[in-house]
Amino acid sequence: MIHYSYPLYRPPAEADNIIIQATYGCSYNNCSFCSMYKDKKYQVRDINDIFKEIDILASHYPNANKVFLADGDVLGLNAEYLIQLLKYLKQAFIKLTRVSTYASAQNILSKTQEELELLYKNNLTLIYFGIESGNDVILKKITKGVTSNQIIDALNKASLSGMKISATVILGIGGVQYSNEHTRDTAKVINATTINYLSTLQLVIEQGAKENFYKYFTDFTPLRGSHLIAEQKNFIELLNPINKIIFRSNHVSNALHLSGVIPKDKGMLLREIELALDRGELEYE
Ligand code: SF4
């Protein structure tokens, strides 16, 4: 039996895949808007305990081909530990094609290019990365711990290793005051990188994070309803990526669900947003 340590988070795309907790919690655990691991002490697990769990899972799901490594930022583990884990996964799941994990700019920048390439060669081929915003004032106010330039460097470093990147941006994270700066600078980050997947979420600050969030973002005024969708429209208008990006806005937090490929479907996405704004369906709160 596998005894997961809860809460356990994984991206929606990993719903049908094997999940293995290599760490408990998040080593940074300091983004002011995030309450995911606030009550969980960060811990690196004994690798032998993980091997035992892999054996159990492999005996139940011998044909599994995708594995997600949880919790918050497994890429923060040292490369030697990760390579051991990836090699063990490969021999246990003989049909393994992909291992994925959450990653932060700090994690990626702490690895050498050679280490990232070695991880990629050992099947760590997809990372989930929270950009949140590309504006430095907002990044400071949400205590993300990195600058927009560091985000660009980290994303390009991961891409260069061969890893595919699924990135998220949070609509409304700059509030009313910084909406224009948020869309302008976040699009600049996307346009300076070669991410493969992009999702927009709408800001939801859980009760447990509210006090911390407002402590650092003292002038925050929430952006609501159609204004959030207008922000999304401004953001998409500014996207001119180097490569093709599969775009989704289908998280449960999104008032308007969208999907397409940018730049090919940019016009279609903008028309869908305009129609929704014209219909006035998005006024709430
Ligand atoms: S957003 Fe990610 S990096 Fe930041 S505290 Fe939450 S889990 Fe950790």
At 73-103, the pLDDT tens digits run 899 999 999 999 999 999 999 999 999 999 9
pLDDT band at 285 (very low <50, low <70, confident <90, very high): very low
Q: Indicate if ligand 1 lies below 6 Å from the C-beta of 34.
A: yes
For a mutational test of ligand 1's pocket, the pick from 9, 21, 30, i.e. the residue with the most ligand atoms closer than 8 A to its C-beta, is: 30
> Rounded distance, CA 191 to CA 263, Å?
11
Q: Indicate if ligand 1 lies below 6 Å from the C-beta of 72.
A: yes
Atom 5 in ligand 1: which residue has the minimum CA distance?
Answer: 29
CA 158 to chain CA mean position, Å: 14
**Whole-number pLDDT of residue 208:** 86
To the nearest 10°, report the CA torsion of 163, 168, 169, 173.
-130
Residue 194: name the closest of 161, 171, 172 by CA.
Answer: 161
pLDDT band at 234 (very low <50, low <70, confident <90, very high): very high
- Closest ligand 1 atom, CA of 34? 6
At 103-117, the pLDDT tens digits run 999 999 999 999 999
| 5 CA from centroid of ligand 1 (Å) | 17
211 Cβ contact list (under 8 Å, min separation 6): none
Q: For residues 83 and 255, which has the higher predicted lDDT (pLDDT)?
A: 83
pTM of the predicted structure, to 2 decimals: 0.96
Contact criterion met (CB below 8 Å) for 170 and 141: no
Q: Indicate if ligand 1 lies below 6 Å from the C-beta of 29.
A: yes
58 Cβ contact list (under 8 Å, min separation 6): 64, 92, 93
The mean per-residue pLDDT over the stretch 30-56 comes to: 95
Backbone torsions φ then ψ of 115, nearest 5 degrees: -65, -45
At 2-38, the pLDDT tens digits run 889 999 999 999 999 999 999 999 999 999 999 999 9
What residue has token string 């920048």?
A: 109
| 25 CA from centroid of ligand 1 (Å) | 9
Asked if residue 255 has pLDDT above 80, the reply is: no
Residues in the chain: 285
At 153-212, the pLDDT tens digits run 999 999 999 999 999 999 999 999 999 999 999 999 999 999 999 999 999 999 989 999
**Whole-number pLDDT of residue 76:** 93
Asked if residue 281 has pLDDT above 70, the reply is: no
- Domains annotated for the chain, with CATH where assigned, are 12-278 (3.20.20.70)
For residue 153, the tally of other CB atoms under 10 A from its CB is: 17
**Whole-number pLDDT of residue 1:** 75
**Whole-number pLDDT of residue 145:** 98
